[in-house]
């Protein structure tokens, strides 16, 4: 079974990928720090969920960054 994420987590994650794709990569720890800098007013659990979904998006499209921006 996969992870279930709310639409709010998905929406914020896609917006972060759209705006800060040059700072993100396939590393969860790096993405977690980027998310923390961008959205400072959130809980630790929400930050980790967003960073996890951002990492998932970046792994799926690691060679197709132009396509990421078009799809999101």
Q: Render pLDDT for 24-69 as a digit per residue (tens, 0 to 9).
A: 999 999 999 999 999 887 899 999 999 999 999 998 877 665 565 6
Reading the block at residue 19, the tokens are: 């705006």
Instruction: Tell me which fold the domain 7-71 belongs to.
Output: Diphtheria Toxin Repressor; domain 2 (1.10.60)
Q: Which residue has 């929406």 as its token pair? A: 11
Query: Could you tell me the pTM of the whole model?
Result: 0.82
List Cα–Cα distances, 3 to 9, 10, 49, 53, in angstroms.
Answer: 12, 12, 10, 10
Q: Where are the domains of the chain?
A: 7-71
Residue 49: per-residue pLDDT: 95
Rounded Cα distance, 45 and 43, in Å: 5
């Amino acid at each position: 079974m996969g992870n279930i994420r709310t639409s709010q987590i998905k929406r914020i994650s896609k917006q972060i990928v759209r705006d800060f794709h040059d700072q993100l990569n396939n590393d969860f720890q790096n993405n977690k720090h980027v998310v923390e800098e961008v959205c400072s007013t959130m809980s630790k659990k929400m930050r980790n969920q967003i960073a996890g979904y951002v990492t998932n998006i970046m792994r799926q499209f690691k060679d197709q960054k132009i396509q990421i921006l078009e799809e999101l």
